[in-house]
Amino acid sequence: MLPWLTESSSDRFNDVRDTSLSKLVRDDMLGLILKGVLIPGQRINEPDVAARLGVSRVPVREALRELESSGLVVARKHSGVFVRQLTAPEIRDLYQMRALLDGFAGKQAAQRPATDNTALLCVLDDSINAMNDAAIQHDVQRYYGENLRFHWAIVEAAGNQTLTETYRGIVQKLHLSRLQNLAHDTGMQASITEHIDIVSALRQGDPKRCYQLLSEHVDDAHNRLTKTMLVLT
């Protein structure tokens, strides 16, 4: 689902020479959350996680503390640890930050020499084609995955490690709100048109236009999501 999400495997727990157990457990649970296996509001059972992965509860607790610090789970006294449920104001704030980061990434990418963007433009064109196919088939989950790949490619092209890490954290949290709405068409055709305009601005090497289009695109995505959530409530 997410471009940076790798498949987790129990085999990884057989070789921990370079990776701590708590990190492996964290990555495993992170994968389950981002794939929607563990859904917002669901309690995470420490003994079950430890038994499934064949580890003690110590690395599980450490992993949960890391996930809590990243805002993906929340610990409730005397109740346990639960997958985070975002409030409407939290979602709004995250989208506002994402709009700034997407805009900045687009501006940075558009300032690169045209030859440096050849591969990027191929990825973006391919992603738009895949989004078109997904829209025709009303495959919202596939569309959503391609949409993430599109934006992640631009963020990576900006060449700013702090940006990529911050962006990843924001989108992972926003993913919690999207999981509940992936069965609904939230304006795929309008979004695809916006993606096409973004690629056109990148191809023309127009940093100002890229910043504007990407910022507005994220704002529009938030508005579409808000309308969908209102319909469902």
Q: Which pLDDT score is estimated for 188?
A: 87
Residues 6+ apart with CB under 8 A from 150: 124, 127, 128, 131, 195
Q: Which residues pair with 101 in a beta bridge?
A: none
What is the radius of gyration, based on Cα positions, of the chain? 19
What pLDDT is recorded for position 192? 94
- pTM for the model stands at 0.84
Which residues of the chain, if any, have pLDDT below 50? 9-10, 17-18, 232-233
Q: Strands across the sheet with 73-76, in order?
A: 43-44, 80-83, 73-76
Look up residue 145 and give its two tokens: 């995955």
Q: Which CATH class is domain 88-232?
A: mainly alpha
Class of domain 10-83: mainly alpha
Q: Where are the domains of the chain?
A: 10-83, 88-232
